[in-house]
Structure 1
Amino acid sequence: MADEGPIVGRETELSALSGLAESPDGRALLLRGEAGVGKSVLLDAAAARSLALGHRVVRTAGVEAESELPFAGLHQILHPLLPQAAGLDRVTRAAFDTVFGRTAGEAPSVMALGVAVLDLLALVSGDRPLLVVVDDAHWFDPQSAEVGRFIARRLSAHAVRMAIGVRADVASAWDAAGLPELTVPALDAHAAALLLDAHAPDLADGARHQILEQARGNPLALLELPRALREGSAPGTGPGELPLSRRLEQLYGDRIRTLAAAERTELLRGALDGTGAAPSPADRARYRLGDVDGALAAGLLTVDAATGDPVFRHPLVRSALLQSATPNERRAAHAELARLHHADVERHAAHLAAATVDPDEAVAAVLERAARSATARGAAASAVALLTRAAELSPGSAARSRRLGDAAYVAAQSALLDQAQELREVSDRLAGAHQSPTAVITSAYAALYRDGDVNSAHRRVAAALGSLPPDSDPETRTRLLNLLLAISLFAADPALWTVTDALVDAAPVTPATSLYRDAFGDVARRGAGARERVQDAFARLGEEQPWDVMRLGVAAYHLDALGDQRLLVRRVADREVGSGAVTNAMTLLQLVMLDQIDSGEWDDAERTGGRGLDLTAAHGYALFAHQYHGFLGLIAAWRGDTERATAALNRLDRWARPRGVGHLTQLAEAIGAAAHLTAGDFEGAYAYAGGLTAPGTFAPCSQQALRTLLDLVESAVHTGRAEQARAHAEAARDQGLPAISPRLGFLTAAALAMTADDTQARAAYERAVAHPAGAEFPFELARVRLAQGMWLRRARERAAARTVLEQAAEVFDRLGAVPWARRARAELRAAGAATPQSAHGAASALTAQERQIAELAASGLSNKEIGARLFLSPRTVGAHLYRVFPKLGISSRASLRDALAGNSTEAG
């Protein structure tokens, strides 16, 4: 509102914004205040200051009509910058093409997309600083807000600033962004009087007092109410009778009504389509206003200085247009916009639905397709609304019931269990059913996730499957079967699995469901060949929904194939956390954490666990919360934090055992075995590991029976139970565990080596440590090398012992497994090496992330390749290396390998 004259009473805010524009470092500032308080004016001032400094400015504004269209806000930010994207690598450009709908494929995760945006911003700001202004950010769609928050927190390494305006009375994703905030309050009495007198000096005393009273320091009201009074409209009957924004919308409504009908129609189309900020890419272009001279003259519109296009003067103008339009006028405008966006399935469907009154199967089918597109793009919460509207427009009760059932299912996957229950009840009433399959699915999900009630959930789902008629809907049967398999996995009860197996065997099942049964249940007896089936299923993934990726990911973990899919799983997990399938995101984050544990990224795994706990607490999912506590307890056990490990064990056992959640009670026992092994209490470790499965056997339907193979053998060896240890190692071989996965092959080879007699031990250990899968599981490989070194020392092969013990100690040090490192160094001393208690030297001054980046750089990877692996921008990688070099006492990348190797040798 630059045409309103000097800015009054905002010295503090203007100083802060000048500081933002002139800052030598990239950073973001969030402006928060009520509607009309002047956030837009202040953002204009920030933009003007940046332009005066020779900086580049990109303006954008959130639009309420697009608040549920994935990435609509991000389109506005990026569109003016895309011409320079040619300077980016092909993978980064492909991320933008997918999100903008120009190419088919799965949308990238928030983290991957955020890194791509940072790369583009870094490129654009290379020659002159950039200011990104986001007005009305509270109307940003959740996906754009997630990306916006991601980049706003990571600008310090770039010449990029962000100024973001949000309403104080509208909840948004920016509320928890953790950004520096500038509260924009109402003007004080003195400044309010100055502003009013400057713009309406001829007001009578009574009118002046009334306006000051009603405006209460709101600058927009101080400017608008005198204009309304001059035009013959009363400023109001008394303060507080209506919200201020309502009164202002009414004032705009008076001006709108003076326009010609054609011009009002034009403005309405623009309001419904979000006209007012920078246009999106051509295939998602907003409606362009034309022939709106009257609206410009009335002060409803202004001209965008960058594009020359007419844009709305204030968001309240849009609100007034929508409030003043009749239902028929809105529907006609939506119909025109649906034609405009015929190539964009989600926007086309949204406008088509709003234009339709009577039931129409064709429109309902379009909405159903749009819902599937939304879930595939990480907007499952939006899909619920689309499916609900599709049900409303379905001509028959059967179709309405089915679509509401689908909406209930998606709501359950989106952590909207209460909404799922409401949708399910309506669906059942339409179908004339008291306890439909949809009702069973919804209630079982709630019982499982919130309460861990596996027994009653299993009973209800099994009964529903048993009563399905032969010609029942295949998708409903598949959903019931897949849910029953998940419940059975958590129960880990052979008796319940017997019922589950019978129901799976009795029904025509999809290949995926058959795979889930073999991976979730008795892997030791059904797992042969399943790993290859998982890999084939991932290779065939196309537009599958997030729950398909989640179930396949769980199967991959239990078959030790998750490492091959880690990038996909991490990307989908990040994508779904915001407004996607949040329930699935909780499991996907667990898979990310477990993969990080297996691959030796324990610090990252703890951070992922904390993130998962926050998510489960927000939704009250006790089952998943206890899983996260268990995984964190396992890390604590291997690191020797007995207090945390014991607390996690007790928490799991107290909650899970009375409920019959065997999957978690077994995890508790695995924590106990790990904690006692780490402490050197092998008798205690044997008691826990032997409680999971008897030596020489593998308890059916127990995932931990396989995962604790090495724990049982190692504790048996150290307690003099050589016969039991050998029996268990041979049972692993004879059961065919090596055929199930390379990891189980590695563990079986290690177990056979630990139990071999002295004539065979050397060759057995060499086979074990040379197993290709060992390198993928560094902690387990280090344990095997420790055992190998101990045997070599006893065999008086001290030089060979020192070599493998040094390798083991280095891994234990890196993982923070202090008791294991201490044990390895004690063995090293016994083998004749003079060793310190822990690694020292320049490399020890590196943070975990700096060490990881330095090692990758030493291996020959470029900054861009390192960033792709670690979800960092190349500039951020470069900044880390800039700090690494002086810590290591080097000046070039070429010296990294020697510097790291030298410090490792010193530590050994």
Structure 2
Amino acid sequence: MAAMGDARAGLVGRDAELAALRAFLDDARSDGAALLLTGDPGVGKTALLDAAVDAAADAGMRVIRGSGIEFESELGFAVLHQLVLPLAAELGRLPESQRAALEVALGLGVGNAPSQIAVLNAALGLFAEAAADDPLLLVIDDLHVVDQPSIAAIGFIARRVHGRRIGVLAARRSGPDGAFRPTGVAELDVAPLTDADSLRLLARRFAHLPKRVLSSVADDAQGNPLALLEFAGTTGASGERAGWVGGPARDVNALFSARIGQLPERTRDLLLLAALEGFGDLHILQSAIAPAGFDDLAPAERDHLVIVAEDDHTMRFRHPLVRSAVVDGSTAEQRRAAHRRLADVLVDRPDRRGVHLAKSTTTPDESVASVVEVAAQTRLRRGDPGGAVAMLRRAAELSPDAGDGRRRLSQAAYVAAWTAGELDTSHELLDAIKGVPGGQPIGATAAAALLVLVTEGDADTAYTMLMPALEAATSVDGPRTGDVEDALFTLTLAADYLGGREYWQPLMDLVGRFPDPSPASAATLARVHHDLGLMDNEQLRRLDAAIDRLRDETDTDIVIRTALVASYVDRLPGCRESVTRVIRDGGAVGSSMPGLIYLALDHLYAARLSAASDAAAELITLSERTGYPLWAQVGHYAAAMAAAERGDLDESIEHCERIWGWSGPRRVHRLVKCAHFARARAALGVADFETAHRHAVEVCTPGELARFNPEAVWAAPDLIEAAVRTGRIDEARAHAEAFRSAGLERISSRLALISGLCSAAVSEPDEAVRIHEETLTIPGLEEWPFEIGRVHLAYGEVLRRQGRARDARRQLDAARKLFAEIGARSWENRANTELRATGMSRAQSGSELTPQELEVARLAASGLSNPQIAERLFLSPRTVSSHLYRVFPKLGITSRAALRDALDASADADRQ
């Protein structure tokens, strides 16, 4: 690594900081590293960044710089734009979905809104691609005024640089205005210089000044390098100084202001445009000042206030305090005029144009309000819901028509609650709407109903609010606005959780006014929830096509709503990647919670029980922390069902009781039924069939596969098995006939498996054998291991009762193995119990150990501990423990003490 001597930019007294930067750059070049410099304004953070940049370039690293800009902090991804723009070639090499996410988010292309996580992953992919050739250093100054979406991106990347040869070096001010501290990133505090170093710096740069003058300057500057240099530069040999005294940062600002005030008026105008433009783009500045040229910039260059890099057509201020002084020295009218001139030249960049127009206008103006609204929609499409809310609020303020103002505030309130997860903001906006004359727009009703639903669980009130509003809004022909779609979606959610014909029939009458809906629409959701059988083959084909497109979909709402429909018809595996993008490290907190619901259900249906429990726990924690208790109850259901299938009876019951305690008093009937479903599944696992039946009939009435009750479909095999095992044969047959009549087996392989289970359970033995054989040939059944295990178990039970012990053992052993693999311990025990009933010994039923499991078991039987076994077999102790966890149920034992006898019995059985 090239040395960073203190001669660079007059760096004196920074040996420790330079050593830390050298170590950081060495780490960044070899494996990746991140470092954050903190300190007061003018303390030398930028000079240290400059030194690191020079050293990195000397060492062959590629360097890209960006800087926060106080007057552009409202512009989403402004700083990320600075970091991405120099990587046009690498951007073209990214996968299409990542390239599109970045281009849309940064305004370099058009398309559907990317989720913030999609943008963050794409940015990381871009920088990793660039670092594949040469190590990459990203340098970001003034982090304390970086826009929030870019802050999320920088923190996301900084925590993931290891192994990628990417360095992230940033600087921020100390104090309350520098609140951003990326977790997991090392910090280096840049302290003021000592008195001795202050004098050494001054003596080096201002040898012509008397020592007493330098001592006075050092005393006034208090160790702040920028103040030292600026004070000394304006001090004569007599000790008189232009400006005034009272603290380094304030004094430097005053000095910069005085120097700027002495510039020609046209130069000051140009500097103000540059300060407010924020990116230093000479092309934009040239357009804004036409027909004048850049000759007026020369006085500022000569006074070392700005630096112009003609090779890349940019201009930057020598120090952020210069930019602040330029703006602070202008009048409000001058700033408005500058914003207007910038807006006039940014006609092809709606996001930035909207920001400048919003700041240039003081009175209501619909032409401006409409542009600002378009900018808000652009923010939303680019994955910045918080920025979209802020822009919609500003658009409402600028709306001369009260109705337009209410509509824009309504949109902001809904986005805040559903996408951004900002409940307080949504409440505040709805309160503001009440103060605007006129009736409440349907968008405000939708937002208010959503808040009531997700925060209080009051689905009845939400339904009562929305139904008349939607009846009125759809009573005439015309286009369905986004506000109407949001209202219908929220009404569907409310009816979903309420259940009951009295809620669903009026909704379905209303949905009839929405012909040929898209797969992600509220009308499609209502229809599939009302009756799975209404999904014909053409609709399923369209849904499958929509799911295929999700891989490149950047609109968070489309992903979430498509996944919701997909969850009813077993299409969640195709949504997994897109839903995960919405959740992980994303800024759309509101959308992350439904995303976690679908992720937990996807894991649950695929029998990844531990992963389902983890996603449910994450959902519960996030929902409770952000004030969305309704989603937390759904998390408790997923956790209850995962625990039920694992055989953790007490845990499952605890989650069910949480649901009943919260949902019951609020009449959230669907969640109450979900808890009964989980309780029935848990009871079946431990062969408590009477308890299972008692809870299953709470999910649905035997013999009736009611509409608006999807749990009745999924719980059908549980109800039928419990009824058969408790002697309620007629009831079981009636329910199996209801399921068969529904014709749901065509929808998915999982529903086909369930249909086979239901039919076989009430058939005569020979017919049941035939049905089970056919069921096990269903294409795609491998996606649903828990249901396959149930089929093998039921098949083995039928064969054993026919006296076909050998055939029964084959099916029961397949069931045992499947349940063991997915960790369904209580169901594994049921299979083992049936195996023993065929006459197979416990040792025989578990004799099929893998070679490594057998070796681990033998060593454990000899008395070796897990660490000793791990050392002998070159495994980790955790791996040894996992092997033994699988060995015990295979051998039908519960402790190490029984290992030797079980292995001996197994060996004897194999020899027979």
Task: Give deviations 1:7-26, integer Å, cap 9, x for gaps.
Answer: 34444433332222112422
Q: Is the 8 A contact 1:843 1:887 kept in 2?
A: no
Matched with 1:42 is 48
Counterpart check, 1:517 vs 2:526: yes
Tell me if structure 1 keeps the 8 A contact 2:414–2:443.
Answer: yes
- State which of 259, 264, 275 in structure 1 corresponds to 2:263: 259
1:154 aligned partner: 160
Q: How does 1:389-400 map to 2 (within 5 A)?
A: 389-400=394-405
Q: Paired residue for 1:691?
A: 698
Match of 1:461 among 456, 462, 466: 466
CA apart distance, 1:448: 1.6
The amino acid across from 1:106 in the alignment is: N
CA RMSD of aligned residues (A): 4.3
Deviations, residues 39-87 of structure 1 (Å, cap 9, x unaligned): 3233233333333433332222233344343433233223333324555
Q: Distance in 1 between matches of 2:813 and 2:18?
A: 60
| One-letter amino acid of the counterpart of residue 523, structure 1 | D
Residue type of the partner of 2:155?
Answer: R
Partner secondary structure for residue 154 of structure 1 = coil
2: distance between equivalents of 1:553 and 1:89? 23
Report if the CA contact (8 A) 1:76-1:278 is conserved. no
Are 2:177 and 1:167 equivalent residues in the alignment?
no
Separation (CA, whole Å) in 1 of partners of 2:553 and 2:162: 37
2:355 equivalent to 1:350: yes
User: Which runs of structure 2 are paired with 1:367-446 in the superposition (5 Å)?
Assistant: 367-413=372-418, 414-433=420-439, 437-446=442-451
Q: Would you say the 8 A contact 2:723–2:731 is kept in 1?
A: yes
Are residues 835 and 164 of structure 1, via their aligned partners in 2, closer, same or farther at CA, if it must alter by over 3 Å? farther
In the TM superposition, what whole-angstrom CA distance separates every residue of 1:195-231 from its partner, at most 9, and x where no partner exists?
A: 5676667588799568646x55544344444446668
Counterpart of 2:752 in structure 1 is 745
Give the C-alpha shift of residue 826 in structure 1. Answer: 5.6
Aligned mate of 1:20, from 21, 24, 27: 24
Residues 600-652 of structure 1, C-alpha deviations (whole Å, 9 max, x = no match): 44444444334434432442112122222332232222223334323222222
Structure 1 residues 504 and 93: CA distance shift in structure 2, 3 A: closer
1:305-348 residue CA offsets vs partner (Å, 9 max, x unmatched): 99585422222222222222223332333233334432222122
In 2: Cα distance, 1:288 partner to 1:15 partner: 44
Judge conservation of contact 1:149–1:174 (CA < 8 Å) in 2: no
Matched residue, 1:553: 563
Choose which of 268, 272, 275 in structure 1 pairs with 2:279. Answer: 275
TM-score normalised according to structure 2 size: 0.81
1:561 maps to a residue whose letter is R
**In 2 relative to 1, CA 744–138 (structure 1 residues): closer, same or farther, beyond 3 Å?**
farther
> What is the SS of the residue equivalent to 1:158?
coil
- Read off the aligned partner of 1:557 and give its amino acid letter: S
Question: Could you tell which deviates more after superposition, 771-780 or 527-536?
Answer: 527-536
Closer/same/farther in 2, CA of residues 501 and 322 from structure 1, 3 Å limit? same
Deviation by residue 1:743-769 (Cα, 9 ceiling, x = unmatched): 333311222123322111222112222
Question: Secondary structure of the equivalent of 1:182?
Answer: strand
Alignment of 1:279-358 (within 5 A): 292-302=297-307, 307=312, 309-358=314-363
CA offsets 1:529-555 (integer angstroms, 9 cap, x no match): 664565577689999964454334323
> Residues 775, 303 of structure 1: CA spacing in aligned structure 2 closer, same or farther, 3 A cutoff?
same
| Matched-pair contact (CA < 8 Å) for 1:733–1:748 | yes
Matched residue SS, 2:181? helix
Q: Where in structure 2 are the equivalents of 1:762-781 lying within 5 Å?
A: 762-781=769-788
Cα distance change of structure 1 residues 693 and 96 upon mapping to structure 2, 3 Å threshold: same
C-alpha separation between the residues in 1 aligned to 2:294 and 2:86?
A: 19
Preserved CA contact (<8 Å) 2:705 2:713: yes
1:361 corresponds to: 366
Q: The residue matched to 1:259 in structure 2 has which SS?
A: coil
Q: Give distance in 2, aligned partners of 1:544 and 1:115.
A: 12
Q: What is the Cα deviation at residue 382 of structure 1?
A: 1.5
Asked if 1:612 corresponds to 2:619, the answer is: yes
Deviation of 1:256 (Å): 1.8
Does structure 2 conserve the Cα–Cα contact (< 8 Å) formed by 1:62 and 1:137? yes
Supply the AA of the counterpart residue of 1:373: T
Distance 1:477 1:89 in 2: 36
Cα pair 1:809 1:821 within 8 Å, conserved: yes
Q: 1:538 to 1:187 in 2, by over 3 A?
A: same
In the alignment, the residues of structure 2 paired with residue 572 and residue 664 of structure 1 have an alpha-carbon distance, to the nearest angstrom, of 25
Query: Counterpart in 1 of 2:721?
Result: 714
Letter in 2 for 1:516: L
What is the SS of the residue equivalent to 2:162? coil
Which amino acid in structure 2 is aligned with residue 77 of structure 1?
L
Match of 1:661? 668
Aligned to 1:851: none
C-alpha distance 525-84 of structure 1, shift in aligned 2 (>3 A):
closer
Q: Secondary structure at the match of 1:292?
A: helix
Please list the CA deviations of residues 158-185 of structure 1 after superposition, one character each: whole Å capped at 9, or x if unmatched.
2222222233436789535433333444
User: Quick one: distance in 1 between partners of 2:683 and 2:476?
Assistant: 54
Name the stretch that deviates more: 734-743 or 587-596: 734-743
Q: Cα distance, 1:422 vs. partner?
A: 3.3
2:493 is equivalent to residue 480 of structure 1: no
Question: For 1:55, which of 61, 64, 81 is the aligned residue?
Answer: 61
Counterparts of 1:202-241 in structure 2, within 5 Å, are 202=209, 212=219, 217-227=223-233, 232-237=241-246
Moved more, 525-534 or 292-301: 525-534
Equivalent residue for 1:897? none
Paired residue secondary structure (2:436): helix
- The percentage of aligned residue pairs carrying the same residue is 34
* Partners of 1:124 and 1:421 in 2: CA distance: 44
Instruction: Measure, in 1, the Cα distance between the counterparts of 2:817 and 2:202.
Output: 72
How far apart, CA to CA, are the structure 2 residues paired with 1:107 and 1:545? 4
Q: How far apart, CA to CA, are the structure 1 residues paired with 2:190 and 2:852?
A: 48
Separation of aligned partners in 2, 1:472 and 1:421:
32
**Equivalence map 1:830-845=2 (5 Å):** 834=844, 836=846
User: What residue number does 1:73 align with?
Assistant: 79
CA distance in 1, matches of 2:655, 2:564: 22
Tell me the secondary structure at the aligned position of residue 270 of structure 1. Answer: helix
Greater alpha carbon shift after TM alignment, 832-841 vs 547-556:
832-841
Change (3 A) 1:72 1:680: farther
Contact 1:531 1:556 in 2 (8 A): no
Per-residue deviation, 1:442: 3.4
Residues 841 and 43 from structure 1, CA distance in 2 versus in 1: closer, same or farther, beyond 3 angstroms?
Answer: farther
Shift of 1:155: 2.4
Q: Pick closer, same or farther for the CA change 1:516–1:764 going to 2, 3 Å.
A: same
Match of residue 859 from structure 1: none
Q: How many Å separate the matches in 2 of 1:248 and 1:142?
A: 28
Alpha carbons of structure 1 residues 191 and 756: separation in structure 2 relative to 1, 3 Å: farther
Task: State which of 757, 761, 781 in structure 1 corresponds to 2:768.
Answer: 761
Counterpart check, 1:562 vs 2:562: no
Residues 284-322 of structure 1 deviation map (CA, whole Å, 9 limit, x = unaligned): xxx997753322332322366995854222222222222
Unaligned runs of at least 5 residues, structure 2: 856-873, 877-882, 892-912
Rounded to whole Å, the distance in 2 between the matches of 1:826 and 1:278 is 80
Deviations 1:126-148 (A, max 9, x none): 44432222223344444433333
Q: Deviations over 1:488-517 (max 9, x none)?
A: 212234433345445556899977443232
